[in-house]
Chain A
């Protein structure tokens, strides 16, 4: 009889603790987004549409809290596709692309929250008018990326998990920082990052941050400082690039051209990076994601290979993938067509 009483008490305590956890967890927070809008939202969010930060879904295990993603996740993200292949039940409704959301699809899902980028603010105003809560993001530095990730953590009740992911990222960043710090300032190399067009260079934003982190110098960043333009990417004449004479050139993973285009083009032959065949196309990974860390490592290893002789990139990446995304790097690579 005492056993039954104890049993009942245990059940009661268990029951109460569940309620306590629920009550404690359910709170309202206020967020100021990139456009300066204040959004009040109940957390944890139960039905979200995620447009550009879809790689955080597997990283923070948000599958049960996400009802819609942009079609880019399924169309251009190998990681996402690989995970879907293993877990078909993770497939979610797609709601169009990042700059042209399918509003009807979004409204039909009746989400609690839409998290999208601020590239086209009109999408945000439109959804707002329809009574949907939207948070606009556009991380332009590593710090900001961490903030955005932590915001996701807070929104979905995964604060602890976010810190774990950030820790893994920092492991790789630390590795880079340590190795790169050994290089004296005068031996630092000049890097430019080319975008959709071979003459479009990154002069700000998260790519620029990474360049600094890996110990590179981005001559294009001076454009932003001198002209105080808000653009993160600008079109320059090839002459300017020859003048900068970068040691290494990185090409955006989603660009239509690759290093061979530059190698075969007589206009570029006087650029040091082209002459020494140090033009590298980046992997087709989103930079607004934990994968920024392995991208940085990739870039660092191309930049100062002598500092990373003992590092096996794919091993490090695989380790990272397993810890962060729960899937093998090699499986994902298959989906990226490499």
Chain B
């Protein structure tokens, strides 16, 4: 379980806070989405939670442990980060990439052992990409690469999984597939999943809880049905929409 309490953040030398006292919790086994327009502080919030930026005010706790003063190794055992799909530096094989998720369990003067290899294998199996094992990471599709990064996060065996805009570079088919897979894994493995999304509909379809951020403030927190109202969308995004219910899901349709 992830708790964020009274989180304030500003860059060094800046006068204004980017994050102005954010509070929310993410529960185990559920998917919590941080939703907000560009410039809302979404990315900053993500970087603070994942530990990339350390000088924030407030608390970030995982399972009651304050992550602030932890070493990189211990932090990596508490949460895994799935970055956006990016241009890779090397043509490592898919298996090699997933194996790197075990880094926090491998001693400084050691290489991964049999157990690490097994965990990497089962992560690949779980995500369903075992057939890609020996392919160079650079030669598979964007959607497949995202799945590889998810498999790597699974191999990391951390209770919290953070995903940064996991669908931003993907086509429609892969967006759906990746999000479906994430939902599957979250409940299967009992992970606390926190992801940032910018599309309210995807958030609505795939999240258990949504936290809406705008201008560094938390606007709302709750289930998609509670949070995503026409009036909130109008307030945050400035767009007129109409909410429709289909198959038990709420869809936001912009009024053009």
Complex contact flag A–B (Cβ < 8 Å): no
